[in-house]
Amino acid sequence: MHDHEPPGYDCPFCDLPAEREAEVVYRDERVFAIVAPRWWPRNPGHLLVVPVAHHENLYDLPAADGHAVFDVTQRLARVMRAVYDCDGVSTRQHNEPAGDQDVWHFHQHLFPRYAGDELYRTLPEPEWLPAPRRREYAQRLRAGLG
């Protein structure tokens, strides 16, 4: 059993507050992408790519939703690379507590990467960013999507 979601869990992705909609970069019937509320200082503007349907983790994710997440991640990676003028991108995804999962709805991180940012080496504590700053990044990426 790979179920770690507590009874009565208030899912932050299923119950996305209306005020966070301005931070959504992309949405279709299967997937949405939103600017993450917590950023690592040298990698601002990272995204969360999330299936619309609630699936706790990778083990439970139907193939069609997994393909949709990957397709949107790839599309947004290209836009991120161009809009942020970053040197590359990284993806990251966590499953179960031992895998550092702390939100019980599957999602994939998409990070802008810069030479020497040491994202996976010196992970400083991520910072909570105010909504207006997140909205600026979302607007830039939406413009890049066309």
Looking only at the bridges linking them, the beta strands covering 47-51 and 108-113 are antiparallel
What's the alpha-carbon Rg for the chain, to the nearest Å?
Answer: 15
pLDDT at 6: 93
85-117 pLDDT, tens digit per residue, is: 999 999 999 999 999 999 999 999 999 999 999
Spatial CB neighbours of 40, under 8 Å, sequence gap ≥ 6: 46, 111, 119, 123, 124, 126, 127
Nearest to 142 by CA among 25, 50, 21: 25
Rounded-to-integer distance, Cα 10 and Cα 13, Å? 9
Per the rule left: phi > 0, alpha: psi between -120 and 50, beta: everything else, 25 is: alpha
Please say whether the beta carbons of 2 and 56 come within 8 A.
yes
DSSP 8-class letter at 105: S
Q: Which residues pair with 127 in a beta bridge?
A: 39
Nearest to 90 by CA among 111, 75, 69, 104: 111
Given the candidates 1.10.3720.10, 1.10.645.10, 3.30.428.10, 2.40.50.140, the CATH classification of the domain at 18-145 is 3.30.428.10
pTM, whole model, 2 decimals? 0.94
Q: Where do the structural domains in the chain lie, given as residue ranges?
A: 18-145
Q: Could you tell me the two tokens for 106? A: 């599957």
Interval 46-64: pLDDT, tens: 999 999 999 999 999 999 9
- CA-to-CA distance for 119 and 57, rounded, in angstroms? 23
Residue pLDDT, tens place only, 3-46 = 899 999 999 999 999 999 999 999 999 999 999 999 888 899 99
Say what the pLDDT of residue 40 is.
84
Per-residue confidence band for 73, with pLDDT thresholds at 50, 70 and 90 = very high
For β-strands 108-113 and 127-128, DSSP reports them as unpaired
